[in-house]
Amino acid sequence: MKAPSTSANLGSGFDVVAVAHDAYFAEAYIKLTSGCGVDIKFRGFNPGSDNTVKRAFQHLFERLGRCWGVEAEVVNNIPIARGLGSSGASAVAALAAFIREAGLRVEPAVVVEAAGLGEVAAAGSPHFDNVAAAALGGAVVIASVKPLELVKFMPKLIFVIGVPDVPPMPEKTKVMRSVLPREVSFRTYVAQLARVSALVAGFAKSDPRLVALGMSDEVVEPARAPYVPAYGRVKRYALEAGALAVSISGAGPSIIALVEEKNSDVVKAAVERAYIEEGLRAEVKVASITEGALAQII
């Protein structure tokens, strides 16, 4: 079972918007055993004993009111701690594989809730944006957190995603959340409302121009940009090359640019050049909106 990489926030949609893209995938394989408890093998990476997959299973079992014996193998091809939802995708892929193997019918919101609570292992607090997109696919809006209410759109959007090869920041998401402003002015609040509205309207109408308006952000981006390597140059070069908008992917350090199909290669080359001029190695990919893990079992 596969779950895609994701980019949360998309500028103004902090913690309530995320897109699933086909840049990378995490995969999980499940075997049911007798007894109760989850044994997880991670291939190619080691998230430690307290990890999002283990926690997600605990929350799911709690919610379903029973326990299964599970052997899970997780192969994560999504770069870790890069703002691409790798920890959440691992958990979603594993839960989806388990649900299929056990022949269960589980509401998508229940899967997202369990995986989002599991994110505490990686981020220090629950958040549902990445896991919602990894599970449902498309562009997802969290319309309510309690109770969890998710809305999925399937707009045709193309992105250039830049993934710098920099040492992972310890406790990255926790740190990147700690730098956010505690308060905003009423004027900023109204301006941000307009941007988030543009994002959601853009998803609904599959209109990249509206999505681009929503990708600007005067609250989170200014606080986090200093911690995102090469962000200023990457953004400038991408926009000069014709990108419609650029924002930080999740909590960074990856960046996500919204592009038109006709200039995706030009923007990709511009982003590559920006990283080189900053003396950084980076993988830069053109990616499209894609389906989520649950599409494979519904």
Q: Which of residues 115 and 251 has its CB atom nearest to ligand HSE in the complex?
A: 251
Contact 247, 196 (CB under 8 A): no
3-state secondary structure at position 156: coil
Write down the least CB distance from residue 16 to ligand HSE, Å: 8
Q: Which of residues 177 and 235 has its CB atom nearest to ligand HSE in the complex?
A: 177
Whole-number Å distance between alpha carbons of 43 and 37: 20
Residue 79 touches ligand HSE, criterion: CB under 6 A:
no
Residue 177 touches ligand HSE, criterion: CB under 6 A:
yes
Residue 9 touches ligand HSE, criterion: CB under 6 A:
yes
Q: Which of residues 90 and 173 has its CB atom nearest to ligand HSE in the complex?
A: 173
Residue 2 touches ligand HSE, criterion: CB under 6 A:
no
From residue 242, give the alpha-carbon distance in Å to each of 7, 66, 258.
21, 53, 9
Q: Does an H or E element contain 32, and which?
A: strand 17-33
User: What pairs with residue 42 in β-bridges?
Assistant: 74
Write down the least CB distance from residue 240 to ligand HSE, Å: 26
| Upstream peptide bond of 181 is cis (omega within 30 degrees of 0) | no
Residue 127 touches ligand HSE, criterion: CB under 6 A:
yes
Whole-number Å distance between alpha carbons of 210 and 273: 28
Q: Which of residues 224 and 268 has its CB atom nearest to ligand HSE in the complex?
A: 224
3-state secondary structure at position 18: strand
Write down the least CB distance from residue 195 to ligand HSE, Å: 15
Residues lying near ligand HSE in the complex (CB under 6 A) are found at 8-9, 14-15, 83, 127, 129-130, 173, 176-177, 250-251
